[in-house]
Amino acid sequence: MATPVIETVSPLIAEAGNHLSIVFASQNNHQPESAFGHVFLVIHKNDRPEPDAVAVEFVGHVASFSDMVVSVVNEINGRYKLANFYEKKMEYDLEDRDLFIFELNVSTEEMMLLKKDISKELTNVHPYTFAKKNCGFYINRLLSKRGLGAYDLSSEFVVKPIQVLDAIDTSRIKQVQFVPSSHRTNLHYISKLTAEEKAVFDRFLLGYDLPANLLNESLRDAVSSRIRYQLPREDKAWMRQHMAQQQKAVWHVDPLDVHRKHDDESKGHYTFAQGDGISSLKYQRELRNFSTQHDNNLTSSYLDVFATELILKDQRLNLSEFTVIKSEAMQPSLMKARLLELSYRDWGKKTDAGEKEVYASLGLGTSYEVSSIRFGFIPNLTLAYTNSDESRTNARLGYRAISELRAASYAVRYSIDQWQNTPFNFSRETNLQFRVHLNSRINLGFEFNRIPELHKAHQRLFLTYSL
Structural domain includes residue 263: no
Residue 261 lies in a domain: no
**Burial, 370: exposed, middle or buried (Cβ in 10 Å; 0-12, 13-18, 19+)?**
exposed
Residues 165 and 217 in one domain: no
> What crossing angle do the helices spanning 217-230 and 182-190 adopt, rounded to 10°?
150
Helix 108-121 vs helix 135-145: crossing angle, to nearest 10? 130
Contact 118, 80 (CB under 8 A): yes
Of the three residues 179, 204, 227, the one that is the final residue of a domain is 179
pLDDT value of residue 150:
81
Do 89 and 106 sit in the same domain of this protein?
yes
Task: Give yes or no: residues 43 and 86 share one domain.
Answer: yes
What are 175's strand-pairing partners? 103
Mean pLDDT of 459-464: 95
CA pair distance 423, 390, nearest whole angstrom: 7
Which residues fall within 8 angstroms of residue 295, CB to CB, at 6 or more apart? none
pLDDT at 2 exceeding the cut of 50: no
User: Which of 162, 179, 196 is the last residue in one of the domains?
Assistant: 179
Is the pLDDT assigned to residue 266 strictly greater than 80?
no
Looking at the fold, whether 227 and 365 belong to one and the same domain comes out as no
Spacing of C-alpha 426 from chain mean position: 33
Same domain, 278 and 220: no
Does 294 reside within a domain? yes
Pairwise pLDDT comparison (422 vs 34), residue with the higher score = 422
**pLDDT exceeds cutoff 80 at 206:** yes
Do 231 and 365 lie in one domain? The reply is no
In a shared domain, residues 66 and 197: no
> What residues make up the domain containing 192?
182-249
Mean pLDDT over 22-26 rounds to: 93
Residue 132 lies in a domain: yes
Kind and range of the H or E run holding 99: strand 99-104
b/e map 332-347, b = 16+ CB within 10 Å: beeebbbbbbbbbbbb
In the chain, % helix, strand, coil (3-state, to 5) comes to: 25, 40, 35
pLDDT (average), residues 148-168? 88
Q: What is the CATH number for 425?
A: 2.40.160.40
Tell me how many domains the chain contains.
3
Please indicate whether residue 156 or residue 66 has the higher confidence score (pLDDT).
156
* Whether residue 197 sits in one domain with residue 165: no
User: Domain ends where: 203, 218, 249?
Assistant: 249
User: Kind and range of the H or E element at 135?
Assistant: helix 135-145
Instruction: Say how far apart CA 61 and CA 67 lie, in whole Å.
Output: 7
231 and 369 part of one domain = no
**pLDDT tops 70 at residue 32:** no
What pLDDT is attached to residue 33? 62
Check which CATH number belongs to the domain holding 58 and give it: 3.90.1720
pLDDT in the model for residue 435: 95
Q: How confident is the model at residue 12 (pLDDT cuts 50, 70, 90)?
A: confident
Res. 67: pLDDT tops 90: no
Q: What distance in Å separates the CA atoms of residue 218 and residue 200, rounded to the nearest whole number?
A: 11
pLDDT band at 4 (very low <50, low <70, confident <90, very high): very low
* pLDDT bucket at 183, cuts 50 / 70 / 90: confident
Is position 345 within any domain?
A: yes
In this structure, the answer to whether residues 98 and 201 fall within a common structural domain is: no
CA distance 444 to 78: 42
Checking if the pLDDT of 13 tops 60, the result is yes
pLDDT tens figures, 424-444: 999 999 999 999 999 888 999
Kindly tell me if the per-residue pLDDT of 459 is higher than 60. Answer: yes
Largest pairwise CA distance in the chain = 81
pLDDT band at 226 (very low <50, low <70, confident <90, very high): very high
Identify whether 259 is part of a domain.
Answer: no
Q: Is residue 255 in a domain?
A: no
How much is the pLDDT for 264? 52
Least-confidence region, from 37-41, 294-298, 459-463: 294-298
Is 264 part of any domain? no
Q: Are residues 186 and 148 in the same domain?
A: no
Same domain, 242 and 282: no
